[in-house]
Structure 1
Amino acid sequence: MKNLYVLFFIFFSILSFSQEEILQTKDSLTVDDKYLEDQIYLSITYNTLVNQPNTVADSGFSYGISAGFIKDLPLNSKRNFAFGIGLGYGFNSFNHGLKVSENSNQISYEIDNTLTSNKFITHNLELPLELRWRNSTPTKYAFWRIYTGVKLSYNFSNTFSYVSTNDSFEFNNISSFNKFQTGLIVSAGYDAFNLHLYYGLTPIFKDSFIGNDSIDTKILKFGLTFYIL
């Protein structure tokens, strides 16, 4: 969490400086009626797992951070309606109630109430695809926006780790983890501050069961997205 607070401080410092520079130079800029909303984005979210098997306890505090760049492609002459395609990186940390392990290419799923820590961490390459509406103009730097679409993700690293009273375990790159995932995204707000929602459409595990219950666990995230021109 300490690293997260540091990241918040650095980001808001950069954001404040950028906005101040824009305001200072606003009057001297030449109006560009072919402007683009090419943007760097940063999302900070609270994560939770949904569609868990009935026997699995709710997850604890979990969070995610993603950042990247979105290319803006206007679809009308006013340039307030556009298509966006981006590329970014996503980090997610989950505290969860299901013990997942892999030994000799055999995956096991268990409920172990003796664990004092039970989490998994993912690192993803992300490709957001958005339809974007905003009431911006060539000289309007603060505006309302609604961006919605899908986010495609490729997981290049996942780690499941556990701590019990007597031992600790760590398993890397579980083979049953779905490397390719898709989710719906919505970001809406004013200026740099926007509410953000992600709902995963793809289960995080492939063809997995605990007892007779199918594991159709999906990811839900909600938080804030910040945009920098």
Structure 2
Amino acid sequence: MSTSPLRGKLALITGCTGGIGRATALALAKQGLNIAIHYNANSTYAASLQGELEQLGVHSAAFQADMGDYDEVRRLHREVVGSMGHPDVLFNNAGTTGKVIGREGQIEDLDMAVFESTWKVNAGSSFLLTQLCVPHMVQQKFGRIIFNSSVAAGTGGVIGPHYASSKSALHGMMHWIAQRYAKDGITCNAIAPALIVETGMMGNPNPENMKMIPVGRFGKPEEISSIVEMLVGNAYMTNKIIVADGGWTAGAF
């Protein structure tokens, strides 16, 4: 077991039963962090992941919540605190694509209900959960907040404007939080992945999309979780968007 200074701290990971969430949970557990597993529907997978984490010698527990329902987000936080304590690390990873219209879709094919529900899951719930976790982080003068964004926030992506705009909202949120709470020992960053397979969003990827990736392949969840692990362990890196897209974009946006 790692002798990391992070050993014994608690990480709450939303969307923990997806590919990136699972990989991140395992990576942080190997650093000695306890893990609060959030899931929505897949209780069997959450239980299986909990068993894997316990084998690594850390404490974990699973918590169900629909991230499209703000009352359930509040309940999630309340149950995590009551069962495991206040999170020291928050990885806002849960997300949804909503309706996929693609790069050549028609904007009129998206109604406001889809736009708003996508924003609610991707941006609103992340804001609310962060709002609930920050006061304790301020009190203890330590916190790590990470948003899982998307390369779509800077390029428009391959899903649609509802998804792209919900992800770009995370960046503005992150910049404000990072600057406001840096003096309180809290870092806040975002990761912007592109086309990561072995995830719910990329279970059956369009091979045509690989043409946009200079490295010539799709990404793997572990290639994102390693960035989360670095951000959790780094007290000097904050207010950054880290783009992990196989070279699709030339730099940060």
Q: TM-score, normalised by structure 2?
A: 0.25
Structure index of larger Rg: 1
